[in-house]
A and B are shown apart, each in its own frame.
Chain A
Amino acid sequence: MAETRHLGARIRERRLAAGLRQTDLAKAVGISPAYLNLIEHDRRRIGGKLLVDLAAKLGLEPGQLAAGADEAQAGALRDAAGRMPEAGAESDQAEALAGRFPGWARLIGAQAQRIEALERLVETLSDRLAHDPHLAASIHEVVSATTAIRAAASILAEPDVPADWRARFLRSLGEESRRLAESAEGLIAWLDAGREDLGETALSPVDELGAFVARSGYHYPELEAPAAGEGQIAEILSREAGRMASGADELVRAMLARYLDDARAMPRPAFEAALEMARARPGGDDPARLAAGFGVGIDAVLRRMASLGGEAAGLITCDGTGALLLRKPVEGFPIPRFGAACGLWPLFQALARPAQPVEAVLEMPGALGPRFRARAIALPRGAGGFGGPLLLEATMLVEPLPGAEAPAAGVVAAGGACRVCPRLGCPARREPSILRAEAPG
Chain B
Amino acid sequence: MGKRIVVIEDEPNIVEAIAFLLSREGWEVRTCGNGETALDTVRDLRPDAVLLDVMLPGRSGYEILKEMRADPDLAALPVLMLTARGQKKDRDLADSLGVTRFMTKPFANADLVAALAEITT
Contact = CB atoms under 8 A, between A and B. Distances in A.
Interface of A: 139-140, 143-144, 146-152, 154-155, 165, 168-169, 172, 175-176
A152 B17 contact: yes
B29 interface: no
A152 B16 CA distance: 9
Interface of B: 11, 13-14, 16-18, 20-21, 55, 84, 105-109
Nearest to A146: B106
B51 to A, nearest CB: 13
Contacts of A175: 13
Given A143-B84, A147-B14, A147-B105, 15 more contacts: A140-B84, A143-B105, A144-B84, A146-B106, A147-B106, A149-B106, A151-B17, A151-B107, A151-B109, A154-B109, A165-B20, A169-B16, A172-B16, A172-B17, A176-B13
Prevailing SS type, chain A contact patch: helix
Contacts of A144: 11, 14, 84, 105
A148 B17 contact: yes
Nearest to A171: B13
A153 to B, nearest CB: 10
A235 to B, nearest CB: 47
A148 B11 contact: yes
Given A139-B84, A140-B55, A144-B84, A155 B109 contact: yes
16 contacts: A140-B84, A143-B84, A144-B11, A144-B14, A146-B106, A147-B105, A150-B107, A150-B108, A151-B18, A151-B21, A151-B107, A154-B108, A155-B21, A168-B16, A169-B20, A175-B13
A148 B13 contact: yes
Contacts of A152: 13, 17
Contacts of A146: 105-106
Nearest to B17: A151
Given A140-B55, A144-B11, A148-B11, A155 B105 contact: no
Given A155-B17, A176-B13, A147 B107 contact: yes
A172 B11 CA distance: 11
A143 B109 CA distance: 15
Given A144-B105, A146-B106, A147-B106, A155 B20 contact: yes
